Structures are given as structure tokens and as C-alpha cells.
């Protein structure tokens, strides 16, 4: 059984920002069929910053803790800052993850990056449509 840091346990037992945002500016979904973890991130963007972020995660304790931590790290940051989040950064913020669970930190960063890409793509389409 993997040993988790107190921070991982806290974010697993009391996850922050769980849920869905109505009419989100961006949505990012990732899944790992091997371990069964599925993450969906919803973002609201204001002045090129993450104004609000929520998640729904189906998975192990580490996946839930990673999702919670990633949302906390992202709030208030610019989109470019969030795009620089790496699995190592996320795992480090949680006080480390067991090697077998490190892929979870990768999923959290990927899901958030996908939500930002989705937002940027929608923004480009709107701008193209209005010209």
C-alpha cells in the first residue's frame, strides 16, 4: 500500500473545488484506461486569468488529491502560468507521490492544459466569426 503525504491525504479527504461550472469557458477531459482514472476540469477565465476552476474526478485517492491541488494552484494565475504546470510541480506541491501513482499528477496537469486549449480555441473561433 502506498504511503501518502499528509497533504495528499488532506486533499483526498477534503477535496477543494469539486463540481461543475455552468457554461464554462473551457473544459478539459483526460482519462487513463489502464488505471481507470477519469478527470474533467471546468474553467472560467477573466482578464486572461483562471477566475474559477472546478473538477470531477473518478479515480483513486491520488487522482482526487491531484485534481484538488491543481485547482488550488491554478486559481488566480494567468493562462500562460498554468500552461507551465508540470507533473513534477504538482507532485511536489503535494509533498510527493508514490512512483506507482505519479501518472496521476500528469493527468491533472493535462486536464487543465486541455481546458485552457479548449477556451483558447473557442475564443479564436469567436474572433474569426466576428471579422
Q: Which residues are catalytic?
A: 35, 104
Q: In the numeric block, which cell numbers belong to residue 75? A: 486559481
49 in Cβ contact with 42 (< 8 Å):
no
Q: Alpha-carbon distance 74 to 20, whole Å?
A: 16
Which residues, 6+ apart, have CB-to-CB distance to 94 below 8 Å?
5, 7, 8, 11, 65, 66, 69, 105
Amino acid at each position: 500500500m502506498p504511503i501518502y503525504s499528509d497533504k495528499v491525504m488532506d486533499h483526498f479527504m477534503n477535496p477543494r473545488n469539486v463540481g461543475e461550472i455552468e457554461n464554462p469557458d473551457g473544459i478539459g477531459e483526460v482519462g487513463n484506461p489502464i488505471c481507470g482514472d477519469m478527470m474533467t476540469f471546468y474553467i472560467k477565465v477573466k482578464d486572461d486569468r483562471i477566475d474559477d476552476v472546478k473538477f470531477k474526478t473518478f479515480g483513486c485517492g491520488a487522482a482526487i488529491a491531484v485534481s484538488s491541488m491543481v485547482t488550488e494552484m491554478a486559481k488566480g494565475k494567468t493562462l500562460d502560468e498554468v500552461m507551465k504546470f508540470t507533473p513534477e510541480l504538482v507532485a511536489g506541491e503535494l509533498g510527493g507521490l508514490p512512483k506507482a501513482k505519479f501518472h496521476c499528477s500528469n493527468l491533472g496537469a493535462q486536464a487543465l492544459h486541455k481546458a485552457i486549449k479548449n477556451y483558447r480555441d473557442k475564443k479564436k473561433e469567436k474572433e474569426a466569426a466576428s471579422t
